[in-house]
Structures are given as structure tokens and as C-alpha cells.
A and B are shown apart, each in its own frame.
Chain A
Amino acid sequence: MGLQKTFFLHLWSFLILLFVPVFLSACQHHIPPEALSLDSESLKLRQIQTRVFQTDDEIKVLIACSSLLQDLGFTIDESETELGVLVGSKDRSALSAGQIVGSIIFGVFTGVPIPWEKNQKMRASVITRTTGDKKKSIAVRVTFQRIVWNTENKVTIREGLTEPKMYQEFFDKLSKALFLEAQEI
């Protein structure tokens, strides 16, 4: 009998120890320290995402950017010319043949098919500002990000896109549209 009592006491203590941290952490999420800090990566990204054009016409640059976003299939969600802000987004498929094949093979062996990535929302914000001596140049900075959903409609990826080639191509197209050479910062 004594043994049984001790067993139950231990069981209850174990359960309490198990559940207390779970309950306390249930409603808490903590922001990582680097989320709002500048680091060496920030400067590198700024260089990849920015080009300077020799013109003082900010509106002309913004119009060229909005046409370019349209060319790239984005729809404009938000614009504020006074602050040089343009925001666009597009929904696209995220299917990749490799992932589907992998999922099917996994399903055949285990009997449990795993979901694959199905669609994605891609967002772009383009910001212009005057720069240089006597404010005779316009700096354009574009940033891309995406959210990916799988076949169960669960978000699987949330990320900023940092591939330099994407930005290079965007600015190549922008300089063609502006008939101006894009200069790196």
C-alpha cells in the first residue's frame, strides 16, 4: 500500500513538473534579438537591393517601377508617391516536380503521403529616395519576400528573398525602361 502511495505521489509530481512549463510557455513567443538589429548582412543586402539612377525626377522613376512590376506580373497593392513607396504582390504556383515525386515515393513505401508545396504569394516593395550631391540622383531599393502553402493549406515557408540574381535582373529591366544606367551603391 505504502509503495502504491509513493508511486502516485511521484506520478503527480511528474505530471505537475511536465505541465507547468507547458502552460507557462503556451502563450509566450519571444522575438529573436537579431530581428530588429543591423548587422554586416544588412549592408550587403542594401547593396544588392539598391541602384542609383542619374535623374532628379522621382515620379518618372516611380512610374517606370510600377510598369516594371506590372511587366513582372505583380498587381499594385499600395502606393504613396510623396514617400516614394510602391508595393505589389502576386500569387503563383509553388509546385516542383522533384518534391511531388519524392512525396509519392515516400507515400508508396510508408502508406502515408506527405504534403507538397502548392502555391505561394510573392511580395515586392519598391522605395525611391533622392540622393547624391544636390539631390540630383534617385536611389531605388526593391525587396522581395514570399509565403508558401502546401497541399494542406499550411504555411511551410516564410522568407525574404536574397538571391542577388533576382535583383540584378530587376534593375537591368528598370534601367532599360528608364534609358538610364543603373549604378551600384
Chain B
Amino acid sequence: MMKVHTVKKYVFVVFVLLFMVGCATTHERLLDSDSSQLRLRSIQTRAFETTDREKTLRAVISTLQDLGFVIDKADAKLCLVSATKLDSYALRITVTVRPRGNTHMLVRANAQYELTPVVEPEPYQRFFTALQKAMFLTAQEVD
């Protein structure tokens, strides 16, 4: 049987480790350094076969409204839309649109749920499923 002070030592080490991994520093939170930027960009982005920037932006706005968001900001020149959904939680999203080559528009969304960035693929997958209905076009994954 382990001695009590050996157990205490282990417990101390476990707690120190938990403190180290449990919460991030301000620097890490500001730059979200813990997530892989390339992986995130890929799960947040889809390509649509259209060159109509305004149509894409309007489809984004109408999809956000369908999903229960209230628009906070929209800029036709910078091609971006920000919106907030309040439903006992707060969900904020920014969607940007930019051309890719001469045939496609890239749509990128990034969201924060309460105080955390949304980094899982599924919520974005759901958003793009809703968006492609409004676009009447298939959302294509990009590398």
C-alpha cells in the first residue's frame, strides 16, 4: 500500500498539471494559439460556384436570419456580415465572402459560443448545409 505522503505528492503533481492545461493565458486567448489555424480555416470555409458577390452576401444574411440571428453589421465593400443569436446563450458569427479564381466565391464563417471559439467542424457543417439551400448551390470543401 502506498504511503500517505507519496499519495499527497502524486495528487500535488496532478493538480499542477491540471492548472497548466486547464486554462489558457491572455496571450493564448488573444491569438487563440492553441488551435491549428490551417485546420480551422479549412473547416470554416466552403467554395460556391458563382461569381456573384452580392447574391452570396444576401444569401448569407437571409440564412443567418433563418437560423435566428439578428444582424449586427454588414459591409458590401469588405464583403462581411456579423450577427448575434440570443437564445438563453449568446452565439456570435462573422461571415466573409471573397472570390476564388474566376469561377468561385469562398465563404468563411467564424463563430464564438458564449466565451469560447467554435472550433469543431459540425456546427460549421450545419451552417453551410443551411447556406447551400439559400444559394441553390452546393457548398464545396476546400483544402
List the A side residues contacting B71 at CB < 8 Å: 78, 85, 87, 125, 127, 143
Assembly CA distance A5 to B3 (angstroms): 8
Select B73's contact among A37, A78, A129, A145, beta carbons within 8 Å.
A78
Q: Are B4 and A160 in contact (CB under 8 A)?
A: no
With a 10 A CB-CB cut-off, give which of B1, B18, B24 has the most chain A CB atoms: B18
Within 8 A of A (CB), among B60-112: 61-62, 65-76, 81, 83-91, 111
Assembly CA distance A35 to B86 (angstroms): 10
Q: Name the residue of chain A whose CB is nearest to the CB of B14.
A: A16
Given A159-B88, A160-B86, the answer on whether A37 and B62 have CB atoms closer than 8 Å is no
Q: Name the residue of chain A whose CB is nearest to the CB of B22.
A: A23
In the assembled complex, how far is the CB of residue A59 from the closest CB belonging to chain B, in whole angstroms?
Answer: 14
Given A23-B18, A158-B87, A159-B86, the answer on whether A87 and B23 have CB atoms closer than 8 Å is no
Q: Name the residue of chain B whose CB is nearest to the CB of A49.
A: B65
Q: Are A45 and B24 in contact (CB under 8 A)?
A: no
A contact face: mostly helix, strand, loop, or mixed = mixed
Assembly CA distance A176 to B22 (angstroms): 57
Q: Name the residue of chain A whose CB is nearest to the CB of B126.
A: A36
In the assembled complex, how far is the CB of residue A9 from the closest CB belonging to chain B, in whole angstroms?
Answer: 6
Assembly CA distance A45 to B62 (angstroms): 12
Q: Are B118 and A158 in contact (CB under 8 A)?
A: no
Q: Hey, which bits of chain A sit against chain B, CB under 8 A?
A: 5, 8-9, 12, 15-16, 19-20, 23-24, 26-33, 35-38, 42, 45-46, 49, 77-78, 80, 82-85, 87, 123-125, 127, 129, 141, 143-147, 158-160
Q: Are A31 and B11 in contact (CB under 8 A)?
A: no
Starting from the known contacts A23-B19, A125-B65, 12 additional A-B residue pairs (CB-CB under 8 Å) come to: A24-B18, A24-B22, A27-B23, A28-B116, A31-B111, A45-B66, A77-B72, A82-B76, A83-B54, A85-B71, A158-B88, A160-B85
Q: Name the residue of chain A whose CB is nearest to the CB of B113.
A: A31
List the B side residues contacting A85 at CB < 8 Å: 61, 71, 74
Assembly CA distance A124 to B65 (angstroms): 12
10 A-B pairs with CB atoms under 8 Å apart are A12-B7, A23-B22, A31-B111, A35-B67, A37-B126, A38-B67, A125-B70, A125-B71, A125-B72, A143-B70
In the assembled complex, how far is the CB of residue B98 from the closest CB belonging to chain A, in whole angstroms?
Answer: 15
Given A35-B113, A37-B130, the answer on whether A129 and B66 have CB atoms closer than 8 Å is no
Given A31-B118, A38-B133, A147-B86, the answer on whether A80 and B126 have CB atoms closer than 8 Å is no
List the B side residues contacting A19 at CB < 8 Å: 15, 18
Q: Are A158 and B89 in contact (CB under 8 A)?
A: yes
Q: Are B4 and A26 in contact (CB under 8 A)?
A: no
Q: Are B86 and A29 in contact (CB under 8 A)?
A: no
Query: Is B58 positioned at the interface, with any CB of A under 8 Å from its CB?
Result: yes
Q: Are B90 and A158 in contact (CB under 8 A)?
A: yes
Query: Is B143 positioned at the interface, with any CB of A under 8 Å from its CB?
Result: no
In the assembled complex, how far is the CB of residue A155 from the closest CB belonging to chain B, in whole angstroms?
Answer: 9
